[in-house]
Structure 1
Amino acid sequence: MKPVQLAIVGLGKIARDQHLPAIAASAGFELAAIASRNASLPGIASFNSLDDMLEQAPDVQAVALCTPPQGRHLLAAQALRAGKHVLLEKPPGATVAEIAPLQALAIENGVSLFTTWHSRHAAAVEPARQVLARAKISSAHVAWKEDVRQWHPGQQWIWEPGGLGVFDPGINALSILTRILPQALFLDQAVLQFPSNRDTPIAATMRFQDGNGLAVTVDLDWRQLGPQIWHIVLETDLGEVRVDEGGKILQVAGQTQVADVDAEYAGIYAHFAELIRRGESDVDLTPLVHVADAFLIGRRETVEPFEDAV
């Protein structure tokens, strides 16, 4: 098959850091265009808006939407109506309800819609799922703590309604957790800490249960200095199972089973190419549902103001 002609919409940090290298290394896609208000690439057709790109670059077959989640629904709907396959960066939207109409548009126009959860493509995730499928799990704890100033320097959309705050990275943990556990989870309680000058939380604690009574605790924090922490620890009858470094490392009873390089976005684009080839979509909102539930039932605490400069 010839490579699918792909356009990136929103050439920001995540697009430059992850999407561009993954597309360049993919046999399934060729970067054909950029639609971004404030950025372009040498040698690539660049447009100030999706409108302009759809009008002037008819050979584009698919788009990767890398814009902030607020307002992404309108862009996705526009691309789907134009007959383009659509990849949605995580989270897929600012709300849960806005995705179902996009699914309907994908079906109506005979194209693929892919709600990506990049952390699920980390090397240790599928092996961990296979281990836990045969284990009896007695407890699970997630710690996802990072420095927002390091990973989102100067970005304001993350603090605005719909930007998710600490759930922007925390949803990666939830995407792994909901993939590797054999039973579905529901949120039992949550506490969300909001800086006094921001509209989204900087930290959160959550407690989940599954249908068998397993308790799962989650600790998210965007104020982590020093080493960054991304791990999931489960106590099982096989010993302690650890998914570490955001999904790159798997240890079972102290023995390393997987320790691999970052291949998340390569996995995303390989799966997107396969979806297009098969004429299918992949839409899973489970991690976003859990975040929405946290905002629904979580107790709000106000903490000290946050400023970008230390």
Structure 2
Amino acid sequence: MAEKLALVGIGKIARDQHIPAIAGNPDWQLEAAVSRHAGVDGIDHFQTIDELLEKRPDITTVSLAIPPQPRFEYAAKALKAGKHVMLEKPPGQSLAECYALEALAREHGVTLFATWHSRYADSVPALKAFLAERTLKRLKITWKEDVRRWHPGQEWIWEPGGMGVFDPGINALSILTEVLPYPVHLTGATLEFPENRATPIAAGLTFADPVGAEMSADFDWRQEGPQTWDIDVETDRGAAKLSLGGEKLEIDGEPVIQGANHEYANLYVRMADLVKSGTSDVDLSPMIHVCDAFSLGRRVITDPFEF
């Protein structure tokens, strides 16, 4: 029997990704939406999470597709009500919030899934297998996109807790922490802040690799035209390039995998498995790198940004 699910936040990411992924998975039945401004045809609509929890106690799972700033309150209420909770990335606006939610899920015996959709791109497992059998020499992340295209008019990303360019950049870091056979840590960062914004529009990161590989990341939200979501690696036995955010993989210049956009469909498969097994998945390693970047980063003021 399909689990009854409520989707909180009916914005661009919900309509583009969450709703089609839920509709295509027989383990889920979308029963309700929570949003102050929008609904979904054919299902119950509520203005607040409190109204949802009061009027639809039969719903077992809540998926949160809202900005990180209000997410803790919504998630905490759902967990305390005995609901399984799925968190859009990043899982919160601080690490402390995420640890608190993890503890609440344990206390109430429910599933908490901190999702990293880019980890579920088609070519990520193959890159992980490639690196597991080789010694890494160099890794370079280039993650550049147009914020006006992907976040039109969304002011929350420029407010504290919104993370700025790390909203997409954390996707790259989620792949990095998935494919490497060992952990790495940040050694330095340069963060470019528009003079009128509270979060960065660009960032350059460097990492310490335990085997001595050169490792860096370049994030930028000002790229027009073709968008760039690449990870290039060199090893002792060949090179690989992950592109299109994880859909495509080349090894030594030859295409190996040309996937499609299955990330959110795979997330809901994973969530169903977690609920069935009574377990949680709360890996915060990508967010640790972001927090370290804000801690270690040298702040540079750049031109103001307006939508």
Identify whether the pair has TM-score above 0.5, normalized to the shorter chain: yes
2:188 is the alignment partner of 1:161: no
Q: Which SS does the other structure have where 1:60 is aligned?
A: coil
Question: Residues 286-305 of structure 1: matches in 2 within 5 Å?
Answer: 286-305=285-304
Structure 2 length normalisation: TM-score? 0.99
Q: Which residue in the other structure is 1:44 paired with?
A: 43
Whether the 8 Å contact between 1:238 and 1:252 is mirrored in structure 2 is no
Deviations 1:243-299 (A, max 9, x none): 111000111111211111110001100000000000000000001110000000100
Q: Which residue in the other structure is 1:208 paired with?
A: 207
Q: Which SS does the other structure have where 2:291 is aligned?
A: helix
Q: Which residue in the other structure is 2:107 paired with?
A: 108
Q: Which residue in the other structure is 2:279 paired with?
A: 280
Structure 1 length normalisation: TM-score? 0.98
Matches of 2:213 and 2:236, distance apart in 1: 14
Deviations 1:33-78 (A, max 9, x none): 0011111112100000000000001111000011100021111010
Whether the 8 Å contact between 2:137 and 2:212 is mirrored in structure 1 is no
Of 82-91 and 250-259, deviating more is: 250-259
* Structure 1 unaligned spans of 5+: none
Q: Which residue in the other structure is 1:76 paired with?
A: 75
Whether the 8 Å contact between 1:63 and 1:84 is mirrored in structure 2 is yes
Runs of 4+ in 1 over 6 A off after TM superposition: none
Q: Which SS does the other structure have where 2:246 is aligned?
A: coil
Matches of 1:238 and 1:251, distance apart in 2: 14
Whether the 8 Å contact between 2:90 and 2:287 is mirrored in structure 1 is yes
Matches of 1:215 and 1:4, distance apart in 2: 46
Q: Which SS does the other structure have where 2:102 is aligned?
A: helix
Q: Which residue in the other structure is 1:88 paired with?
A: 87
Percent sequence identity is: 52
Matches of 1:211 and 1:184, distance apart in 2: 8
TM-align CA RMSD: 0.7
Q: Which residue in the other structure is 1:25 paired with?
A: 24
Instruction: State the AA in 2 paired with 1:160.
Output: E
Shift of 1:18: 0.4
Matches of 2:21 and 2:215, distance apart in 1: 33
Shift of 1:102: 1.1
Matches of 1:81 and 1:159, distance apart in 2: 30
Instruction: State the AA in 2 paired with 1:85.
Output: H
The count of aligned residue pairs is 307
2:18 is the alignment partner of 1:10: no
Q: Which residue in the other structure is 2:216 paired with?
A: 217
Matches of 1:62 and 1:200, distance apart in 2: 32
* Structure 2 unaligned spans of 5+: none
